Structure 1
Amino acid sequence: MSSAFPAGPGSPGEIVADAVTRGVIPGAVLRYGRGAAGRVRGGEFGDGVSAGLRYDLASLTKVTATLPLVLRLVAEGEVGLDDAVVRYLPRFGELDDVKRRVTVRELLAHSSGLPAVREVWRLAGTAEDRFAAVLAEPLEAAPGTVVRYSDLGFILLGRIVADVIGQPLDVAFNELVAAPLGMTSTGYRPDAAVRVAATEANWVDDPGREDPKAGVVHDENAESLGGVAGHAGLFGTADDLASYLRGGWLAQDSPILDAGVRAEALRNQTPGLGGVRGLGWTLRGDSFDFMSDGWPLSGAAHSGFTGTSLAFDPESGVWCVLLTNAVLFGRENRTRELRRVLHAAVAAEFGITLLSRPDGGGGVDSISSRITA
């Protein structure tokens, strides 16, 4: 099996089909297009893969559930981006004055100084005990000084959403994000009767089990928090995520997002901090950027550890959803180069040409792309 992808021509569907044939990924569902109302393109690839197959979305949960809910609260004046986290979670800074300075904006932009992860699933006790461990986690850097991608920050944001709205995070997502966009096949904790792509042949957190892991969130921390968390836990279909990008981020009048906060989310929040992050989203030029040199410089994206990804560009309207269960073949990153080649092909299909690179590494403040077809 080779994970190298040729740089030559190929349609988006051919690229994904080739990845399945060569054993890079077990299967995939691809959706892409341009604009909020344009034709949806794509296909299903691999044995047993159908349009209705649900995938563990992993960290796409951050930008599909937690982010739009936080932005809704910001637009309604219920939460301030520059409010200290301790305003909503007082225990977060009770033993550390520096932590008391961390803001909601910094959690969203991964510049809070929190570490990437802590394996709270290994701790004995209840889900609340594990959340308390997240609250108590010390910073690795001063707030607002460096970009450090953090699951812990989004676990905290998920709790802020639940506390402010007064509903569990999964209920808030269902009512305020999924329902308005018609996302009928996306949510937390799928029913046992639903077809879900397996993510592991063996359970890391339950070595005695021999059945494939499917329908239970792959992220052990999310599972240990009850299967509902701000950083991971969603399962869904490519068609639903296409609806999310089109209706949430590309529609002129989104039913779930205020235009002002949507624009703020796509602005570079971290200049000079070693990364190019919006609110939630990865922007062009960030170390996590997989959008390819051919993708518009105003683009935004996010990936999930299981092998999932979203990318879109608010200026040209081009977008792409790729759902795979790559982790079934192992936990090493198997999809980064696939994503880069795929996104270059999607951009090329719509005739997007880059004219120059932005100063400052991306974001909507420095757009330089042209639609030629």
Structure 2
Amino acid sequence: MKIRTNRLMLISERMEREIEQQNIPGAVIAVGKGLSILYLESFGYAENQNGIVRVMNKDTLFDLASLTKVTATLPSVLYLIDNGQIRLNDPVSLFIDEFGSSAKGTVTIRHLLTHSAGLPPHQPYHRLYSSPDAIRRAIRFEGTGAEPGLRTEYSDVHFSLLGEIVAAVSGQSLDVFSKRHIFSALGMSKTMFCPPESEFHRIAATENSKVGVVHDEDADALGGVAGHAGLFSTVQDLITYVWMWLGENPLLSESVRRLAVQNHTTTLNGNRGLGWVCRYDPYDHTGDLWPETTVGHTGFTGTSLAFDPVSKLWMIILTNDVHYGREKRAMIRLRALLHNIVGSAIETE
């Protein structure tokens, strides 16, 4: 596969138009193939409200929102699998006592990773409970709305529980474990939960000019660390992370990486890998032209990451889409359009 890099300039044209029309505040976008970075540009503003204007740059830190699931929680779980500490088919009840009931006793780690455990899609825990411990207890006691393994339904609860499992097995909270075994090992020095105030000037503002505080209300109520949201990172660190998935760093075994990007829900209503969204799932954001073996994920704040493990094509889009309000959210459609531009640049050799 070759990429006609001149086609990628259409990304710049589109983004400049979107920012001029105030559809989105700002963005950093990278496209590459293997270790080659074919396109890397920043656009617009990291903050542009209430008389405060900060220009976006390539070193800006972003609230990753649900990219946390596949950037912190997923690799931590896969690390434990690689090291013989857990299995995909282990029942969750081995690690979380509240799952010992008959209704939830058959829920496995695989079910959580593929969003097929039958747990509810969303609950406003931050409004229902007054402390992190009360929220964690409520999540552990959450009931199943459907029998595990019958259908996929995207749920933050699944990955919140996976974060709890990482902590139960390792004896370390998710932020400590992922920093020690994933981010530090890969050299991702600007990837973190709960960024210190010294980094706030480098962070893209989200809704209501939030800077350095996680946008997701439930993750915020949990102290900024959760399996479903809370991570901050830069485009360069995420490029390093994608390179690991393409085999450029032996942090995770080839076997577990190959397993994670396979479709594990072919007989259900969605196409889910372990954590990853596969092509043609309802949550697939990669448009119409990317290879069938592409996987990816998105984040509510306006972030996304996609890669094809076969051709090694990848794309990272980091925006602060919600800075102008969560109602607008232009990135939902724009992501697919930008991926179509990249897809149109593909030439088979």
Per the normalisation by structure 2, the TM-score is 0.91
Alignment of 1:326-337 (within 5 A): 326-332=321-327, 333-337=329-333
Q: Distance in 2 between matches of 1:238 and 1:150?
A: 26
Moved more, 274-283 or 120-129: 120-129
* AA aligned opposite 2:334: L
2:67·2:298 contact (CA, 8 Å) conserved in 1? yes
Match of 2:211 in 1: 214
Whether contact under 8 Å (2:132, 2:221) holds in the other structure is: yes
SS at match of 2:17: helix
Higher helix share: 2
Q: Structure 1 residue 341 and structure 2 residue 337: aligned?
A: yes
1:116 pairs with 2:115: no
Decide which of 2, 25, 43 is 1:45's aligned counterpart: 43
Which residue does the alignment assign to 1:297? 292
Alignment correspondent of 2:240: 243
**Which one of the candidate residues 203, 206, 224 is aligned to 1:196?**
203
Q: What secondary structure is seen at the aligned counterpart in 2 of 1:11?
A: helix
Separation (CA, whole Å) in 1 of partners of 2:158 and 2:108: 10
Letter in 2 for 1:317: K
CA distance in 2, matches of 1:72, 1:291: 27
Runs of 4+ in 1 over 3 A off after TM superposition: none
Matched position secondary structure for 1:328: helix
- Alignment partner of 1:39: what SS? strand
Matched letter for residue 256 of structure 1: L
Query: How much is the aligned-residue C-alpha RMSD, in angstroms?
Result: 1.5
Percentage of matched positions with identical amino acids: 44
Q: Tell me if the contact between 2:247 and 2:254 (Cα under 8 Å) persists in the aligned partners.
A: no
1:103 corresponds to which letter in structure 2?
T
* 1: CA distance, partners of 2:250 / 2:122: 33
Contact 2:112 2:162 in 1 (8 A): yes
Query: Where does 1:9-24 land on structure 2 (aligned, <5 Å)?
Result: 11-24=10-23
Distance 1:13 1:182, change over 3 A: farther
In the superposition, relative to structure 1, how do residues 9 and 76 fare at CA in structure 2: closer, same or farther (>3 Å)?
A: closer
The equivalences for 1:1-373 within 5 A come to 11-35=10-34, 37-47=35-45, 48-93=55-100, 96-194=101-199, 195-201=202-208, 212-246=209-243, 248-252=244-248, 254-332=249-327, 333-351=329-347, 371-372=348-349
* 1:322 alignment partner, SS class: strand
Moved more, 60-69 or 320-329: 320-329
Instruction: Please state how far the C-alpha of 1:255 moved relative to its aligned partner.
Output: 3.0
Can you list the C-alpha shifts for 1:247-278, whole angstroms capped at 9, x where unaligned?
x21125x3321111111111111112110000
* Alignment coverage as a number of residue pairs: 331
Are the structure 2 counterparts of residues 66 and 9 from structure 1 closer, same or farther at C-alpha, using a change threshold of 3 Å?
Answer: closer
**Deviations along 1:69-111, whole A, 9 cap, x unmatched?**
1001111110110010001111233xx3120100000100000
Q: Aligned equivalents of 2:213 and 2:264: distance in 1?
A: 34
- CA displacement 1:5-27 (0-9 Å, x = unmatched): xxx99622322222222222100
Greater strand proportion: 2
